[in-house]
Amino acid sequence: MSTIAVIDYGMGNLRSVYKALEHVTDKRVIVSQDAAEIRAAERVVFPGQGAIGDAMHHINGLGLGGILNEVFEDRPFLGICLGLQALVDHSEEDGGTGCFGLIPGTVKRFASPLIEVDTGERLKVPHMGWNQVSHRHDHPLWQGIEDNSRFYFVHSYYVAVSRPEDSAGVTHYGVDFTAAAAHENVFAVQFHPEKSQHDGLQLLQNFVNWDGKP
């Protein structure tokens, strides 16, 4: 039976991601920090919450950095929250943190204060709650999900990609930011599909059925 590996690096909402994946597929879902299990998996999910500096430290400490670079090359991969931020070149968080550099771009902190230009409203940081995601181009993971559907976010830092073609979805909260990025067999989102009800489960189901082709 094919396996979906959810990476356990000591951070992230692993149980809810695991349960959501189990809900949408009869494939075997495992939570693992074992390099051999992750390397052998047909698909890999990288969830995360917290600070990127700690995340990269734990990943490298477990010897998973090289494994992830292999995964990026040859199978369907889904990043969630920190799993998106870790894919770009660099994050401003924790005094500056180097990331995997798969997708050219930077993770930036929302401005303080964060003001909505059109209304003058002062926005709270972190960005927490439901917000719309505007599709930037067609992708198999958007199948069955209408443009401008709402997903659940919790974050204080956001991704700015360098190449517009890498952005698969955009959300506005004071600024426009990349809510979903796509690169070949890699798809990653800033929001939490496991907390986003019907559309979030649809995205996860699309992932488990995806062949990794754009």
214 within some domain:
no
Closest among 47, 48, 56, 130 to 93, alpha carbons compared: 56
Q: For the chain, what percent of residues have pLDDT higher than 90?
A: 94
- Report, as residue numbers or ranges, the catalytic residues: 81, 192, 194
* pLDDT greater than 90 at residue 10: no
**Alpha carbon 75 to chain centroid, angstroms:** 16
Taking only the tens place, the pLDDT of each residue in 33-51 is 999 999 999 999 999 888 9
Ranges 12-16, 184-188, 193-197: which has the least confidence = 12-16
The residue to which tokens 């894919």 are assigned: 87
151 within some domain:
yes
Confidence (pLDDT) at 1: 60
**Entry pTM:** 0.96
Q: pLDDT grade, residue 29 (50/70/90)?
A: very high
> How many structural domains does the chain have?
1
Q: Where are the beta strands (DSSP E) in the chain?
A: 3-7, 28-32, 43-46, 77-80, 90-91, 97-98, 105-109, 114-115, 122-123, 127-135, 149-155, 157-161, 167-173, 175-183, 186-189
Domain range for 187: 3-209
- Answer whether the bond into residue 126 is a cis peptide, omega within 30°: yes
CA dihedral 124, 130, 135, 140 (to 10 degrees): 130
Q: Please check whether residue 43 is in contact with residue 86, taking contact to mean a CB–CB distance below 8 angstroms.
A: no
46 within some domain:
yes
How far apart (Å, rounded) are the C-alpha atoms in residues 26 and 214? 24
Task: Please give the DSSP secondary-structure letter assigned to residue 23.
Answer: H
CATH number at residue 95: 3.40.50.880
- The residues with which 43 forms a beta bridge, in sequence order, are 4
18 within some domain:
yes
